[in-house]
Structure 1
Amino acid sequence: MQQKPPTSITVAEATSKMEHYCAYQERCHKDIVTKLNTMRLIPAAKEQIIIHLIEHNFLNEERFAKSFARGKFSIKKWGKQRIIRELKYRDISQYNLKEALKEISDTDYLNTFHELAEKKYHLLTETNLIKKRKKLTDYLLYRGWETHLVFEKVRELFE
């Protein structure tokens, strides 16, 4: 069976594809670079496309970071530590990271944390209290909640 040679794509076609890719969902620079690498373009063409996306506001790192933080907090109930870790993985600047975290109000943050901890506590069926305590602690820490909040809440729930 013969393999088809890789099809070449013009810069205009690649730009159009990337515009659609960015319009569908907020993207970070790392996502764009990864996607462009799959298109087998020369470095100059990749750079040209990225500049075009930034100039036409398809690619905006600050907007991405804010949207990411809001979404992961409100939908997945992630804590700030997990959000920071994921944004750093995507090479988001320190400034954009701080701006993104401002999107989460302190009252919402604490209310969500307490609701999540209490819900998980009641869902755990473990009878051994030490194991139950560890499972709850591990769950909250994995989701990126601050250690002082987690240990305080676990102590409160197991008294």
Structure 2
Amino acid sequence: MDKKSFTFDEIKLKLVNYCVYQDRCHAEVEQKMKEFMLIPEAKEEIMLYLLQENYLNEERFTRSYIRGKFYIKHWGKGKIKMNLKQKQISEKLISKCFDEIDEADYEKTIRKIFEDYYSRQKDQKEYQRKSKTIKYLMSRGFEYEKIIDTFDET
């Protein structure tokens, strides 16, 4: 099947809509552009346009990504950071944007996930319940120190 060919303006509009639908990072837009086999100059022009018109905004993307992954998916900072790095977001920007997560909410979330998971491990010895719960929370991206602090409070 032949790939349908689009005009430059059609491609530009498709990429605008791609960014409008959901905040995107540069890497995602570059990946999407590969579908259209554009010449480097055209890619650059579209990228510049998306940035100038604020359709593409790395900080806005990072902030909404952090909010979504924490408040909706309940991921810890470690997992969020790792995933943002895979999207080529800089360490500096990630750190700057972590203020999207309220510290009290973060601790509350760890405690809630901890209690839910821990209470489901009924048929195990105490130390197994604890170690499984710690492993689980770490796999969700929560920091070991924060998890241990939560343990000490319970």
TM-score (norm 2): 0.91
Structure 1 counterpart of 2:130, one-letter code: R
Unpaired stretches in structure 1, ≥5 consecutive residues: none
Q: Which amino acid aligns with 1:18?
A: L
Residue 11 (structure 2) pairs with residue 19 (structure 1):
no
Residue 10 (structure 2) pairs with residue 9 (structure 1)? no
Partners of 2:22 and 2:113 in 1: how far apart? 27
CA distance in 2, matches of 1:134, 1:13: 55
Cα root mean square deviation, aligned: 1.7
Identical amino acids, percent of aligned pairs: 36
What code does the residue aligned with 1:31 have? E
Give 5+ residue unaligned stretches, structure 2: none
Kept in 2: contact 1:79–1:144 (CA 8 A): yes
Instruction: State the alpha-carbon separation in 1 of the partners of residues 100 and 124 from structure 2.
Output: 39
Where does residue 29 of structure 1 map in the other structure? 26
Aligned residues: 154
How does the TM-score come out when normalised to structure 1? 0.88
Contact 2:16 2:55 in 1 (8 A): yes
Quick one: which amino acid aligns to residue 12 of structure 1? D
The change in CA–CA distance for 1:119 and 1:41 in structure 2 (over 3 A counts) is same
Change (3 A) 1:133 1:37: same
TM-fit CA distance, 1:156: 5.7
Tell me how far 1:46 sits from its aligned partner.
1.2
Decide whether the 8 Å contact of 1:69 with 1:101 is kept in 2. yes
Pick the aligned partner of 2:92 from 95, 116, 119. 95
Q: 2: distance between equivalents of 1:46 and 1:115?
A: 46
